[in-house]
């Protein structure tokens, strides 16, 4: 059972700093967003364009990227009394009992709003009618927000979602965008409910420049669940895979003095879940329940490229484990003062040793 985590971070993000649309819709190429670089050694920060990443990294560094592709995991539904709801599907793969995790939300201006537990219609046995002759039956709560559900679909899940679903959207995004806006250049394994957004600013041309400069790139897969922007829950189990080639390359890079830099918190979670008792990375796959905190620390990751997180987001504890509290405090203060943009279509933060 996941519970809320207390991050201890105290800062305010003005509403106007939410990125309401993809960079392309704001007149920018994907790789022209802003990047705040923070270096733990010397507590140094730099304000750059993401397109300058090849000049910031060193030959021999390894970027570990998540190749999970985003599903259109938001479905319109109806309760038995006809009330409209939104159903967010957390995983394309069911648990061993054949149940999926879902969240019911209240439709609002094209997006959806959180149902506080005391106002949620969710209850065991509730039937939700879905498009195309499909339905979902809630069976048991997993958290006050997430429920186990038995889906009844007319066909295979990903094909059904492609026909009837749309990308999950929260209220700070101004309108629905096609699912392509939620795919990264590395996306090849469909399965995420929400975009692994730290990799969104990469383009094929930028990757080519990185590789030409001696920076290595290797994949992991971690299929994201649905976020908890209102409930601030700890991460819950997610499906992941770290290939043997990636594990061996990361070990080699570190033995040669290079740095392993995770692209996104999903890459950190996957890599750290693949560390064996001897402290070394090896091939691994399954469901990870790992929660990374400053007390736990990180063993396989030296740096992290990530988006900007809200004050109570549990991911801040993972960032603190990688970067340390003093650097994180400085980066967030400068990001707010410098009016960086938050959320999946926003700017990024590169945290280096």
What pLDDT does residue 229 have? Answer: 60
* Mutual angle of helices 315-323 and 265-273, in 10-degree steps: 70
**Which DSSP category does 341 fall into?**
P
Distances in whole angstroms, Cα of residue 152 to Cα of each of 26, 131, 139, 165? 40, 11, 13, 15
Residue 208: other Cβ atoms inside 10 A: 11
Residue 324 CA to residue 318 CA, distance in Å, equals: 10
CA neighbor of 41 nearest in space, from 346, 303, 335, 256: 303
Structural domains in the chain, CATH included, are 15-70+177-351 (3.40.1780.10), 74-164 (2.40.10)
What pLDDT does residue 61 have? Answer: 98
Determine the Cα angle at 28 with ends 22 and 29, to 5°.
90
Residue 105 CA to residue 45 CA, distance in Å, equals: 39
3-state secondary structure of 327: helix
Residues 6+ apart with CB under 8 A from 47: 34, 35, 36, 37, 334, 338
Quickly list H helices, 9-62. Answer: 53-56
Burial tier of 238 (Cβ tally within 10 Å: 0-12, 13-18, 19+): buried
Plot region of 43 (φ>0 → left; ψ -120 to 50 → alpha; else → beta): left
* Mutual angle of helices 325-337 and 315-323, in 10-degree steps: 120
What pLDDT does residue 117 have? Answer: 79
DSSP labels, 152-192: E-SS-HHHHHHHH-B----TTS-S---GGGG--TT--EEEE
What pLDDT does residue 232 have? Answer: 66
pLDDT in tens, the chain (353 residues): 444 556 677 788 999 999 999 999 999 999 999 999 999 999 999 999 999 999 999 999 999 999 999 999 999 999 999 999 999 999 888 888 889 999 999 998 778 888 887 889 999 999 999 999 999 999 999 988 899 999 999 999 999 999 999 999 998 999 999 999 999 999 999 999 999 999 999 999 999 999 999 999 999 999 999 876 666 677 888 999 999 999 999 999 999 999 999 999 999 999 999 999 999 999 999 999 999 999 999 999 999 999 999 887 888 999 999 999 999 999 999 999 999 999 999 999 999 99
Model pTM score: 0.94
Bridge partners (DSSP) of residue 218 are 64
Contact 129/85 with Cβ under 8 angstroms?
no
Residue 113 CA to residue 26 CA, distance in Å, equals: 25
Plot region of 339 (φ>0 → left; ψ -120 to 50 → alpha; else → beta): left
């Amino acid at each position: 059972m996941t519970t809320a985590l207390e991050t201890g971070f105290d800062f305010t993000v003005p509403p106007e700093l939410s990125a309401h649309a993809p960079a392309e819709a704001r007149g920018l190429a994907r790789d022209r967003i802003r990047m705040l670089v923070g270096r733990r050694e010397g507590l140094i920060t730099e304000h750059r364009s993401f397109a300058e990443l090849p000049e910031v990294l060193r030959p021999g560094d390894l970027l570990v990227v998540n190749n999970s592709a985003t599903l259109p995991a938001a479905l319109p539904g109806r309760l038995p009394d006809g009330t409209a709801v939104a159903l967010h599907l957390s995983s394309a793969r069911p648990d061993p009992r054949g149940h999926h995790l879902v969240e019911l939300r209240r439709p609002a201006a094209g997006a959806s709003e959180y149902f506080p537990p005391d106002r949620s219609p969710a209850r065991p046995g509730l039937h939700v009618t879905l498009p195309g002759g499909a339905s979902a039956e809630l069976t048991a709560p997993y958290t006050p927000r997430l429920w186990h559900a038995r889906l009844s679909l007319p066909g295979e899940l990903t094909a059904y979602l492609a026909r009837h679903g749309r990308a999950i959207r929260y209220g700070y995004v101004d309108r629905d965008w096609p699912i392509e806006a939620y795919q990264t250049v590395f996306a090849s394994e469909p399965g995420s409910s929400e975009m692994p957004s730290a990799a969104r600013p990469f383009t094929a041309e930028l990757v080519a420049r990185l590789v030409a400069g001696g920076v290595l790139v290797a994949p992991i897969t971690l299929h994201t669940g649905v976020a908890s922007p209102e409930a601030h829950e700890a991460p819950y189990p997610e499906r992941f895979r770290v290939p043997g080639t990636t594990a061996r390359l990361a070990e080699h890079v570190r033995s040669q003095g290079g740095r392993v830099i995770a692209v996104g918190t999903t890459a950190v979670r996957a890599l750290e879940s693949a560390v064996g008792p001897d402290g070394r990375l090896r091939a691994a796959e399954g469901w990870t329940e790992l929660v990374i905190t400053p007390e736990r620390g990180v063993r396989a990751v030296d740096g992290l490229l990530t988006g900007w997180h809200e004050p109570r987001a549990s991911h801040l504890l993972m960032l603190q484990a990688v970067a340390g509290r003093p650097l994180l405090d400085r980066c967030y203060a400068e990001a707010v003062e410098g009016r960086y943009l938050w959320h999946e279509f926003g700017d990024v933060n590169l945290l280096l040793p």
